[in-house]
A and B are shown apart, each in its own frame.
Chain A
Amino acid sequence: MRSLFKFHGGIHPASNKAQSNHKPITQAALPSRLVIPLHQHVGNSAKPIVEAGQRVLKGQIIGAPEGHVSSAVHAPTSGVIAAIDMQQVAHPSGIPDLCITLIPDGDDEWIARESCDDWQAVAHTDLRHRLRDAGVVGLGGAAFPSDMKLYSHKHQIKTLVLNGAECEPYITCDDLLMRERAAEILQGAEIMRALLYAEEVLIGIEDNKPEAIAAMRSAILDGKHQNMEAVAVPTIYPGGGAKQLIRVLTGIEVAAGMRSTNLGVQCFNVGTAYSTWRAIRHGEALISRIVTVTGNVGQPQNFEALLGTPVNELVAQAGPLPDTRGYIMGGPMMGIRLPSAEVGVIKATNCLIAMSDSLFPPALPALPCIRCTRCVDVCPAELQPQELFWFAQSKNLLKAQEYHLFDCIECGACSYVCPSNIPLVEYYRFAKSEIWAQETSKKAADAARERHEYRELRIEREKQEKADKLAAKEKAALEAKALKSAAPLPPAVEGANVSLYDAPVDADPENTMQLKIQAAIDHAKQQAAVSKPENTEHLTPQQQAEIATIEARRARIRELALSSADEHTKE
C-alpha cells in the first residue's frame, strides 16, 4: 500500500455525482449545426484555412496552429462550411470571437487517417508534431497544448501523474471514461511516458469512484503495464488540482513560481491520455469529448459530443426542466456562467450544469469581512485569502502580489466557507486581470520609450552626418582655392591629364568662364596632336595599295573643296 500525503485545507462539498454516473456514455445525436471557435486552447488562435461554402470531411484541419504555442482545430464531422465569422463563445465575457460554422451533411465521412501500429518506432519529434496537428490539448479544463508539455531531457521527469481525481461536484466525465475506456487511457499514458522518459506512472483517482479504480487496476494487469499504479486518493476538494494531486501522490510540494516539471513530475488529465492514444494509434484528431450534462435536467448523463455542438442542442437530449435559467460550463466551484445557450462545446467543456433557483439559489448579499479566517483554514495554496480580499477590494495590487495572489488556483474553497458570503474568487480574478493589463501596458510603454529614444538618436545622427558632409565639402573647396592661388597657372599644353575643372578659380566669373573655355580648346588641340593613326607598321602590300588609293581620293576631294572655296571668295 502506497503511503499518501496531505495538502493543506480543502473542503467537502456535496458531490452530486450520483445523478449522472450510473448511465454509460451516450453518443450525442448529430446537431443541426456546429459552431467551432478557433481559439479553444491556451496560446495563439488557430488560423482558418477553409472557405465558406467548402465541403470538409470529418477530421479535416479547418484551423491551422499558428506560432509556437497553438493547436489545430478540426471539422468534427463532414459537411459544408456555412460561415467564418464572429460569434459568441464559451467565455465569461460574452464577447464574440472568430468561429467556423459547419452544417453537417449526415454522411459522417472521415478524411484519410494515418494509423500507426508501432508508435515506438516513430521519432519523438514526429509524435509531438502529430499531437499538435491532431489538436490534442489538456482536457481537464486548462486546454494547454499537450505537445508543449511532452518535452523532457532524458530522465528529468521521474513521475507521470494521470489526473483522474475529478474532485469538483457534479462532474463525472472522467469517471465514465475510466470505467469504459481504461485500456486506451493506459496506452496513451505509455506514449506520454515514452515522450517524457518517465519511470513510473501514477493514476490518482478519488475514492468516491470505486468502479473507475477497479477498471483501471484490472486494465493495468490485463495490459501488463509495468511501473504503473492506480492510486485511490481521499475525496477532498480540490484534490484534483495538479499541485494538490502531486502533493498527495508523491509528497512533492511545488513551491511558488516553480513548475512541477522542475521537480521531476508532469501531470495530465486521463482524457488527454485517451485523446493522445486515439491521435497517435488511429490518426483521429480531437473532434469530440465526453461532456457531463447534469443539474436541472431530466436524465443527467454523459455524452460523447462533437466539438462545436450548441449547448442547447446537447442539453435537449438530457431533457432540461422548464425552470432552467442558465448554464454553467465546468463545475459549480470553478465553472463559468455561459453567456448564451447557443455557444458551441469546446475542448475545455467537461461539464454542463443546467441551473435552477432550487439547485443554485441566488447569492446572498455579501456582508463585511469579519476576519474569521475560515478561508485560511481551507485554502489549499496556503494563502491568506482574507488579506488578498482586502487588497483586491481596495485595488492595492502591489500588496496583493506580495501576498502571492498568483499562487491562488481560484478553487473557490474560500468563498464556499465564507460566513459573510463574500465572492472572494471574483475579487481575485479582478485583481489578477488588472495586474496582467498593467503588465501589458508597462511593456508597451517600455517599447515605446525605446523606439522614441532610438528615433531621437537617429535624428541627431542624421543631423550630425549632414553637418559633417557640409563641413567636409567646404573644407575641400577652401583647400582647392588655397592650392590654386599658391601654384602658378597650369600650362595648358603641358601633360595629357589637364581637366576642364582644373581651370584656375578667378574672382571675376566671366574671366573664369573664358579661361575655362580656353583650357577646353587647348585640351582638345592637345588631344588631336597626340592622337595618331594606329596599325601603320607591318602592312601587307595589298593594304598599302588600298591606303594609297584612299589617300589619293582624299587629296582630290581636298583640292576640289579648296577650289570651290576660292571661287566663293572670288564671287
Chain B
Amino acid sequence: MLSALLVMAAIAIALGAVLGFAAIKFHVEGNPLVEKIDAVLPQTQCGQCGYPGCKPYATAIAEGAADINLCPPGGEEGIHKLADLLGVDFKPFGGDTAPKPKAVAFIDENNCIGCTLCIQACPVDAIAGAAKQMHTIIAAECTGCELCVAPCPVDCIDMVEIEENISNWKWKYPVYPLRPAA
C-alpha cells in the first residue's frame, strides 16, 4: 500500500518537474494567434474597426475583446476566414458597416497647398511630397484607407474606385438562368 503511494508520488513529482522544465524551456513570447489573425486582415490600417491599425485589432480579437465582423475592407470573405481560423460561427456585418469597392486616393494637384497633413496621416507612407511642395499618391502602395481625406484643409483628396480592366478582370462564376420546360 505504502509502496504504491510512494511510487505514484514519485511519478507525479517527476512528471511535474518535466512539465515545469518544458514551460520554461519552450516558453513562447507573445500570443502566436495575433500573428495568424493579422495575416488574414487586409492591412489597410484604416481604423474602421475602431482600433488604430490591423495589428491592434488582431490583438483585440485574440484577447476576445473585439468581434470578428468589424473589418469592412476584408469583406465577408475576411469574416469567413477569421471564423475558420478561430473556430467560431460566421457573423455578418452589423448596422451600417459594409464593404465598399476598392479605391485609391487621388490628390487634385491644382488645389494642393503642400501642407503635409495627409503625409502625416498616411499609415503606409504612400504619399510623396514635402512642405510647400505638391503632394501625390503612390497609387501602387495606397491601401484605400481614406485616412488622408479628412485632414486635408483644402479638400483636394478624392477616393477613386479601381475600375475593372484587362489585367484585373476575373472569370465570372458560371450562372445559367433556369428556363421553364416547354
Q: Are B170 and A455 in contact (CB under 8 A)?
A: no
Confirm or deny: A433 has a beta carbon within 8 angstroms of a beta carbon on chain B: yes
B179: chain A residues within 8 A (beta carbon): 365
**Chain B: CB-nearest residue to A426:** B174
A95: chain B residues within 8 A (beta carbon): 164-166, 169
B168: chain A residues within 8 A (beta carbon): 437, 440
In A419-442, the 8 Å CB interface with B consists of 423, 426-427, 429-430, 432-434, 436-437, 440-441
Question: In the complex the two chains form, what is the Cα distance from A95 to B179 in whole Å?
Answer: 29
* CB<8 Å pairs between A and B, sample of 28: A89-B166, A92-B171, A93-B164, A95-B166, A365-B179, A366-B176, A423-B174, A426-B171, A427-B174, A429-B171, A430-B171, A430-B174, A432-B171, A433-B171, A434-B170, A436-B170, A437-B168, A445-B42, A448-B141, A449-B38, A449-B43, A449-B54, A451-B124, A451-B125, A452-B43, A452-B53, A452-B54, A452-B124
Question: Measuring CB to CB, which residues of chain A are less than 8 angstroms from any residue of chain B?
Answer: 39, 89, 91-93, 95, 97, 363, 365-366, 395, 423, 426-427, 429-430, 432-434, 436-437, 440-441, 444-449, 451-452, 454-455
With contacts A95-B165, A365-B176, A455-B124 known, is A448 near B171, CB below 8 A? no
Question: In the complex the two chains form, what is the Cα distance from A441 to B143 in whole Å?
Answer: 10
Q: Are B170 and A433 in contact (CB under 8 A)?
A: yes
B42: chain A residues within 8 A (beta carbon): 441, 445
Question: In the complex the two chains form, what is the Cα distance from A429 to B168 in whole Å?
Answer: 14
Question: In the complex the two chains form, what is the Cα distance from A445 to B174 in whole Å?
Answer: 28
**Chain A: CB-nearest residue to B163:** A95
Q: Are B165 and A430 in contact (CB under 8 A)?
A: no
With contacts A365-B176, A430-B174, A449-B38 known, is A97 near B141, CB below 8 A? no
Question: In the complex the two chains form, what is the Cα distance from A434 to B174 in whole Å?
Answer: 13
B118 nearest CB across to chain A (Å) = 14
A447 nearest CB across to chain B (Å) = 7
Confirm or deny: B69 has a beta carbon within 8 angstroms of a beta carbon on chain A: no
With contacts A89-B166, A91-B166, A95-B166 known, is A452 near B171, CB below 8 A? no
Chain B interface extent, by class: 20 to 34
A41 nearest CB across to chain B (Å) = 13
Question: In the complex the two chains form, what is the Cα distance from A93 to B173 in whole Å?
Answer: 13
In B111-132, the 8 Å CB interface with A consists of 123-126
A366: chain B residues within 8 A (beta carbon): 176
B170: chain A residues within 8 A (beta carbon): 430, 433-434, 436-437
B41: chain A residues within 8 A (beta carbon): 445
Confirm or deny: B44 has a beta carbon within 8 angstroms of a beta carbon on chain A: yes
Q: Are A452 and B123 in contact (CB under 8 A)?
A: yes
B90 nearest CB across to chain A (Å) = 14
Question: In the complex the two chains form, what is the Cα distance from A434 to B43 in whole Å?
Answer: 20
**Chain B: CB-nearest residue to A422:** B174
Question: In the complex the two chains form, what is the Cα distance from A355 to B173 in whole Å?
Answer: 24
B140 nearest CB across to chain A (Å) = 9
With contacts A365-B176, A427-B174 known, what are 6 further pairs, Cβ within 8 A? Answer: A89-B166, A93-B166, A97-B165, A423-B174, A446-B43, A451-B124
A39: chain B residues within 8 A (beta carbon): 166
Q: Are A455 and B123 in contact (CB under 8 A)?
A: yes
Question: In the complex the two chains form, what is the Cα distance from A455 to B43 in whole Å?
Answer: 13
**Chain A: CB-nearest residue to B142:** A448
Q: Are A430 and B173 in contact (CB under 8 A)?
A: yes
A429 nearest CB across to chain B (Å) = 4
Question: In the complex the two chains form, what is the Cα distance from A449 to B54 in whole Å?
Answer: 9
A291 nearest CB across to chain B (Å) = 22
